[in-house]
Structures are given as C-alpha cells and as structure tokens.
C-alpha cells in the first residue's frame, strides 16, 4: 500500500516543490553588534557570524500525499514548514506552492485571545478567504468537531491548551485548503481527540488534500505518513518511505550521533540499513563462561568463586568457593550440615 502511494506520488504534478532551499540567520555575541552591523557593514566592517538553520533541502509533494518531517529539536523542521506556509522567506533556493494553504504552526496562531471562540472562527475563515456566509454554513460542523460546549461563546484567553487545539484544528481543516501544515499541534490533545483528527486526515486525503506533519511521535509518522524527511542540524539526511525514515532515525540515535550525510532519495520500498561492522569474538575459556552473581547490597555483578579442577580445564587461579552454612530456624536444635563442595574437597584429598 505504501509502495503504491509512493508510485502515485511520482506520477502526479507536485503541489509543493522545494529546490535547494536554505535559511540563514546572523548571530551576534553582543546586542550592540547588531546595530554596528546595520551601520558599519557598508564600510566593510562585519560583526557576528552566519548560522544556517536549514540548507540543501529538495523535495516534491503530490496531491493527497501525507508527508512527515522528523528530527531532533533544533533540526530545522519548523523553519521548513514556515517557508512552505509563506511566513518565512528562504535565504537561498525556491519554494513553489500551488493551492490554498492552511497552517497550524503554533498553538493559538491567528486567534485573538480577547475574542470569543465563535468570533475567532469567523475571523480565521476570513483570513483563509472564506466569506461570512460560507463560514456560517459550516459553523455548526466546526463547533461539533471542536466539542467545547458553551465555551464557544467565551473569550479564547480562558481556554485550556487542549480546547485551543480543538477549535484551531476544527477551523483549519474546514476552510477548503489544498495543503494542510501541522507543527506538533496534536501533541497537546488527548488520545481520543487525536484519533478523531486522524480520521479527519483520512477524509482530507480522499479529497486530495496534501498533509505535512511535523511530530516527535515516530509511531504516528510511521503509521500515518506515506513518506518522511529526516533532518538534523539543518541538513537533510534521508527522504523516503516513512518506516525507513524512522528506522534511519533510530539507527543514528543508537550510535550516539546524528552527523551530516548525503541525501538518500528512495522512490519505493524500504531503504537498506547501513552496514554494521562485525568483529569476531575471541575464544572463551570454560572458566570465563561461569555464571555471575549479583550483590544484593550493591546490585553490582560479581564473579562466582569456583573450585579449581583438572577436569574443567581451569587454571585454578580463582579462589576456592566457600559456601555459608545453611541458615536454621531459631527454634531448631539440629546441627548445620557441611557444604557439599567442602565434602567433595575432602574426598579428593
């Protein structure tokens, strides 16, 4: 099913086209250096250093595709989403978008906290190009999906983060958008509302809406998205099927580093995992394979003392085992028995 979705993506004209996109910021050591840069840069004086938040990103998104973006915090995921939404201009490269865009980039973005939920619904509809009559026709469906009850007529500043998300998602998915951008907005929702959102995603996909999801929930990315982009430190590391992208992310994390690597473009199927080096194990001595015990007081493993024996082939360099006498009940008069190992040692002598 995922392979068919990738093949369909290759055959359709993209609604989002990103070509060698990068975003650069100027970082200053002191606040006054920012003013010096503005005034003295024309005379050849330079202050601060360049920081590339994102660079060398290339991807195409087809109509109806569900695309995920994953990576650690600070990797440039939100920066890329803002450039697709048009709220941030790229320093280099080009972003082409065909169709209407609805974006949930920040919780509460586009909402006036002093207005009621009802008033904010009409304001957001106007921002997305819908007339008041069309918003009024869809208001009951929006209120039913948000399911916040009488709070729809209360100021938004009184809402919890979950109520905010419910209303923002209901509005964002009801404005006839061709492209839906979601940046970690579902993280604050409860599990039942998230399931409701994914059912809405399926409905939007059937209508040809392209969905771009940024999330740290790798399980959601793997199950919901057709393809995914893995980025780290502003560099794209992998573009391909979502399951393969998640696997690459886990592999990089397990090695304790995420380093820049050539971009891997995968048309269909899962990408092969990078080869792992295998070192032949050294021969194990019979003595080395003896079980270990764990100290009940410290919890640290310690070798179990053994008795040297010519039959076992051990060198006998380890100390002889001394078994503590068997604990007897306080009211018992029986004599403690000898350890089986000590008896065996006596017979061999």
How does pLDDT run across 30-42, given as a tens digit for each residue? 888 888 888 888 8
Total-model pTM: 0.67
What local confidence, expressed as pLDDT, does residue 198 receive?
86
By C-alpha distance, which of 2, 68, 243, 87 is closest to 251?
243
The alpha carbons of the chain give a radius of gyration, in whole angstroms, of 32
More confident residue, 281 or 107: 107
Residues 238-263: tens digit of each pLDDT: 999 999 999 999 988 777 654 445 55
The top-scoring range by mean pLDDT among 12-26, 38-52, 190-204 is 12-26
In the chain, what are the domains? 2-40+52-254 (3.40.50.300)
DSSP state letters, 65-120: -EEEEE-STTSSHHHHHHHHHTSS--SEEEEEE-S-EEEE-STTTT--TTSBHHHH
How far apart (Å, rounded) are the C-alpha atoms in residues 227 and 67? Answer: 5
């Amino acid at each position: 099913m995922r392979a068919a979705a990738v093949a369909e993506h290759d055959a359709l004209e993209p609604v989002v086209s990103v070509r060698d996109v990068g975003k650069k910021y100027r970082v200053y050591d002191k606040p006054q250096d920012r003013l010096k840069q503005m005034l003295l840069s024309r005379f050849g004086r330079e202050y601060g250093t360049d920081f590339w938040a994102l660079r060398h990103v290339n991807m195409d998104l087809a109509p109806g595709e569900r695309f995920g973006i994953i990576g650690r915090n600070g990797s440039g995921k939100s920066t890329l989403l803002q450039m697709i939404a048009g709220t941030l201009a790229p320093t280099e490269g080009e972003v082409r978008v065909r169709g209407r865009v609805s974006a949930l980039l920040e919780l509460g973005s586009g909402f006036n906290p002093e207005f009621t939920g009802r008033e904010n619904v009409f304001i957001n509809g106007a921002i997305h190009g819908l007339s008041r009559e069309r918003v009024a026709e869809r208001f009951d469906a929006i209120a039913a999906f948000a399911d916040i009850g009488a709070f729809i007529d209360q100021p938004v500043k009184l809402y919890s983060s979950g109520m905010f998300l419910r209303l923002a998602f209901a509005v964002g998915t009801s404005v006839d958008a061709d492209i839906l951008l979601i940046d970690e907005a579902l993280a604050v929702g409860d599990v039942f509302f998230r399931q409701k959102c994914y059912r809405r995603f399926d409905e939007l996909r059937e209508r040809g809406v392209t969905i771009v999801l940024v999330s740290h929930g790798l399980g959601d990315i793997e199950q919901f998205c057709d393809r995914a982009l893995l980025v780290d430190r502003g560099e794209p590391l992998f573009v391909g099927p979502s399951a393969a992208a998640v696997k690459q992310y886990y592999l990089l994390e397990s090695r304790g580093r995420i380093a820049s690597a050539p971009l891997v473009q995968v048309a269909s199927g899962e990408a092969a995992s990078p080869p792992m080096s295998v070192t032949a194990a050294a021969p194990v001595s019979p003595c080395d394979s003896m079980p270990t015990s764990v100290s009940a007081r410290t919890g640290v493993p310690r070798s179990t003392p053994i008795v040297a024996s010519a039959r076992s082939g051990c060198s006998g360099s380890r100390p002889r085992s001394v078994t503590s006498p068997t604990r007897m009940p306080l009211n018992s008069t029986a004599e403690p028995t000898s350890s089986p190992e000590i008896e065996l040692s006596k017979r061999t002598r």
